[in-house]
Amino acid sequence: MSIVFADPAALSHAQLEEGTVFAPRFDVQGLITAIAQDAAGRVLMVAHMNAEALRLTIESGDVHYFSRSRGKLWKKGETSGEVQKLIRLATDCDQDVLLLTVEQTGRGAACHTGRKSCFYRVLQDGALADTGEPRLFDPDAVYRR
Amino acid sequence: MSIVFADPAALSHAQLEEGTVFAPRFDVQGLITAIAQDAAGRVLMVAHMNAEALRLTIESGDVHYFSRSRGKLWKKGETSGEVQKLIRLATDCDQDVLLLTVEQTGRGAACHTGRKSCFYRVLQDGALADTGEPRLFDPDAVYRR
């Protein structure tokens, strides 16, 4: 019994924005932007999902994405062990972005660089400054590069 | 003296991910995804910026986006009064997403529906449930629809 998502084109503007029908607006490549945030409000990472990744995420409770660079479905943590458990899934007014609240398991590193969050640099006077986010794993060891 | 962003294609993978050079990776349409979050960690909205919107945001401190639906530069709050003041600008490991920490001025509504956040619905048992986020303005009055 697999989830089938409603077609957003079949909804009125009001239904899309104020209704109860979940009709994720995948783009022309079949992808939707997904933001993963922890319960404390820290944005961990941003990636994309296709319909299959979204279905598997909802059905299993483990977050799945679609890797644009590798062109394939990707269970978060399948290599690194940094599995994300879905706590809450929100969508925005026009249903073209998903906001996931997740529990970041493993060593707590959502980023492939080994850091908790991918957002470890901030703009200061025209250059990026590292916020000093520690590495929770060694990416060379984890990904055997 | 206008800001010119570095070309990400001129950077090595290590420079892009670990370096201090800000080289936002605009997509083939010249856009980059921008997430606006308040200081408390609430994700308010997700939109896109072109290079001009990003430059104006950094130079003026008022957040500018590029509206894909209207095909034009858009100073957030120009119609609604809900201006966003930039507090902090972070980017992710591969520099293809911007995470803005903003002060949402005006009535505090980032969403065009009048709500604080665009993420006012969560998935529950296959349908969207409204989280009960109040409207801080009447969109029909503000946008004169």
Block mean pLDDT (10 aa), chain B, length 145? 88 97 97 98 98 98 96 96 98 98 98 98 97 95 81
Q: Does residue A40 sit at the B interface (CB-CB below 8 Å)?
A: yes
Q: Give the DSSP letter of residue B10.
A: G
A90 CB neighbours in chain B (<8 A) are: 119-123, 131
pLDDT value for B1:
53
Bigger pLDDT: B31 vs A4: B31
Per-residue confidence at A2, pLDDT binned at 50, 70, 90? confident
E strand intervals along A4-145? 32-38, 43-49, 64-67, 72-75, 84-91, 97-104, 121-124, 127-130
Q: Do A113 and B20 touch (CB under 8 A)?
A: no
Q: What is the mean pLDDT of residues A74-78?
A: 96
- What order do you get walking across the sheet with A127-130 strand by strand? A127-130, A121-124, B84-91, B97-104, B32-38, B43-49
Q: Do B99 and A127 touch (CB under 8 A)?
A: no
Residue A139 distance to chain B (closest CA, Å): 13
Q: Do B123 and A22 touch (CB under 8 A)?
A: yes
| Planar angle of CA A119, B1, B75, nearest 5 degrees | 60
CB atoms within 10 A of CB A133: 17
C-alpha distances in Å from residue B11, one per residue of A50, A123, B22: 30, 17, 10
Contact at 8 Å (CB) between A59 and A65?
Answer: no
Where do we find the tokens 């408390």?
B40
Set out the domains of chain A in order of their start, with CATH numbers: 8-113 (3.10.20.810)
Question: Letter for the amino acid at B145?
Answer: R
The b/e string for A61-85 (b: 16+ C-beta within 10 A; e otherwise) is: ebbbbbeeeeeeebbbbeebebbbe
pLDDT value for A144:
75
Take residue B20 and report the two structure tokens written for it. Answer: 């201090």
